[in-house]
Structure 1
Amino acid sequence: MTAGNAIRYLRGDATAPQGKGVKVIAHVCNDLGGWGKGFVLALSRRWPEPEQAFRRWHRERAGNDFGLGSVQVLQVEPHLWVANMVGQRGIRTGRSTGVPVRYEAIDTALAALGGQAAGLGASVHMPRIGCGLAGGRWELVEPLVTARLVDRGIPVTVYDRD
């Protein structure tokens, strides 16, 4: 799948992952329970379950593990799963300074995702997580993806929109 233990980069849509076998689509969510901008809209156009599960997970957070660094993996098709990873503190507003991305939370979530993907025998597919509305820089996220997934032998494909 990946040559020499490297991330594979493709032009295309991360909600339509390429390749055979079990696949997990991974993306970053905020810790406010908000779902309404960015990549999540493309997910919601295909499947209602990731948004419904995320909103329920946030609503019931007093009794679960919801928070920065947490990951929620749910099945949306027979060989396709979506991983909601909480890697963003709040959202950007007109007055906010700094960026919402939290690299340590993405790292923690990717480590957990690595175990789940390995258990499923799955490849992982994603946009450049944390680098859209979360304001992160790919040169800081890419090494986390490599360390937590690729170095564990999990094939990873990153999609860039045309």
Structure 2
Amino acid sequence: MSGITYVRGDATAPSVKGVKIVAHVCNDIGGWGKGFVLAVSRRWPEPEAAYRAWHRDRASNDFALGAVQLVRVERYVRVANMIGQRGTRTGSKGVPVRYEAIDTALTALAGHAADLGASVHMPRIGCGLAGGKWSRIEPLVTERLVARNIPVTVYDHDA
């Protein structure tokens, strides 16, 4: 038992009480326009605007693989922009996902969630356009979040 709750539905619409963090993986080149971010942007404009500003000003901030940006979008909802993929295309260095960066980001996310008393909601991060394998990411989610008693729900979207 992983301790992760799996449901069918929309990760941008968690229906539990309390503070919620919707977590997802972003690339490190400032691109926002395909995959789960489209669902995020349909619901809230703030995460995309914050990500683009974070990337634009990266010379003077912590924007890099493994970094997390928490964006408040509603009174009890935050979106975690986690930098966990190098670029956007599969090439000579393989798929864009960077498991070490996702691990680092999940560690930071756990701190934010613990501080807020929040539950975490996500799609199968790093497994869409980033090309990652859930069999590699699920243990990271379990180790970094579930082991700290942070409730995690993973959403499989109805296509």
Whether the 8 Å contact between 1:31 and 1:68 is mirrored in structure 2 is yes
Confirm whether residue 27 of structure 1 aligns to residue 24 of structure 2. yes
Secondary structure, aligned partner of 1:151 = helix
Q: Distance in 2 between matches of 1:140 and 1:80?
A: 27
- Aligned counterparts of 2:8 and 2:16: Cα–Cα separation in 1: 14
Does residue 103 of structure 2 align to residue 107 of structure 1? Answer: yes
* Residue 116 of structure 2, aligned match among 110, 114, 120: 120
Cα distance between partner residues in 2 of 1:39 and 1:83: 13
The one of 66, 90, 104 equivalent to 2:87 is 90
Q: Which amino acid aligns with 1:80?
A: V
The CA distance in 1 between the partners of 2:147 and 2:17, in whole Å, is 20
Q: Does 1:81 align with 2:71?
A: no
Runs of 4+ in 1 over 4 A off after TM superposition: none
Does 2:33 match 1:36?
yes
- Deviation, structure 1 residue 92: 1.2
1:88, 1:105 within 8 Å by CA — same for their partners in 2?
yes
Read off the aligned partner of 2:36 and give its amino acid letter.
Answer: F
Tell me how far apart the structure 1 counterparts of residues 6 and 75 of structure 2 sit (CA, whole Å). 25
Could you list the runs of 5+ residues in structure 1 that have no partner in the other structure? none
1:67 to 64, 68, 72: 64
Residues 130-152 of structure 1: CA distance to partner in whole angstroms, max 9, x if unpaired?
Answer: 00000000000000000000000
Query: Aligned partners of 2:143, 2:30: CA distance in 1, in Å?
Result: 28
Any unmatched runs of 5+ in structure 2?
none
% identical equivalent positions: 74
Across the two proteins, how many residue pairs are aligned to each other? 157
